[in-house]
Structure 1
Amino acid sequence: MVSGAAAPGEALLLVLDYPGLRLESRVEELGLGDRTGLRQVQLLRAPLPTATDPAGHLAELLARRPEGQCRAVLAYCASAPLADALAGHLAAAGPRPPVVVFDAEPVTTSTVLDAYRDTLTQLGARAAEPEAAELASLVDRPEQFIGAARRNLVAHVSDALRSDGCEPAEAGVLAVALTASCLDWLTHLLVARHVPRPEFPGPVLNIVSAGTPGGDVRVSCDRTSLLRDPRTREATLSFLAAHGALPTP
């Protein structure tokens, strides 16, 4: 994926594809930059945005955009609501770019709470009922949710480290480092859960794999290979061409 400063007026393909380990293929594997002449720019890169409110989070993402004209926005899975909101924001100052999302699914309260429970499981812990109830009550207050999640996760990890013989002070420092990526993911989901629909709606294509419900175009492949399947690439290119997103020869 290309990085660094963009030339003035360069045509951009903005990408929201959450980093981290996963079995599923990635947007960059479609190779769209090489086939379109658009410069592909991944906005979700380290350090990840930290704002828990949608407006602040979008502002952080937009600040990573190099100089040039955004011709389209692409997003995977839970990042889809952010892509639509990002395109809507860009429409306030110019043409609204088309959006292509892949295996997009709604991010709900259950999505956020399930992600927290999954995080605890990965850390070898389990939320007591008061902890779970507190977090469920805070989903609509993202800043407070992240504060409570940080406190709880650090406590769980610190306890586990001390049980393994780690000194308390060292356990606390390590726990903060070990839980940082988990909190980044929860922040991402919370923002996707609360981001409002854009004031300037526009064309959106949802390409899904065989096991994902809904969608506009279905590719008969499993979820892990959707973003390396040539049929996904062709559907994306056809949609972008139909909406004038591709540079003219």
Structure 2
Amino acid sequence: MRKSKKVNILMLLVALLIISCAFAQTKSVNPTTALKEQISLLQLPHDFEYKKDTTGFTKFKNSKFYSKNGEADVFSIIAKNVHLVDFNNDGLKDIIYQEQQLHKAIVLFANNGKDFIEIWDGPGEVVFIKQAEKTTISVYTPYVGCIEINLLFEVTIGANNEIVEDLLSYHHNTQITNLNPEFKQKEVTGMLRTTPVVDDSETKDPCTGEPRPGNQIRAIENQRVTVIKDQGDWSLVVYKSYNNSIIAWIKSN
């Protein structure tokens, strides 16, 4: 009797383990799917504007806005540039502020029940907000002047305003069009480049005057990348190192 009970308990534990694993798999986000979502944001029209929700901002007009250093009266808040959203899931409306003066920039203010505290800032404008257990705010920064790189920040905010920042970047000469229907991963060695051509000619940076080697970005060796486009002997890949990802071309080994 005792032996059969032990067997039944063991079988029950195994069944629960299988169910929990299956549930975990359904909840996890496929990395390829997440990457496709990121790239789709890079392909939005240049005149795209995320619709702001300023509903209820008038009741915060007497609130103070503090910088990360604890300074007040640093910010001049204009109502039309405010987007209200509870990004840390504490039941209070927080503020995503779109700075529109010299250059576009985003400032995130957390509501502490009385005033607002700056928790993140960066260049660009909001292109997407995804709310779940944690909120992810996508901020796009197009290249300008001497900065030849397009940037997509993904700022994920958790409880207690914990922030994880991921960055996806690519050179403005790198065209992200006609991608493969399915992305694949592989290990590669070679030089990441801005365009699918070998150009090692030395030129001068127009802003700094420093020499730069053609269309080279960086060399990688035996690194895993995600291939998003095949073009003859070349592949357009996403190379990720820690929280920074680069979209670039690499020639087949």
With normalisation by structure 2, the TM-score equals 0.22
- Rg bigger for which structure? 2
Which has the higher relative contact order, 1 or 2, with Cα contacts under 8 A spaced 6 or more apart? 1
Greater fraction strand: 2
Greater fraction helix: 1
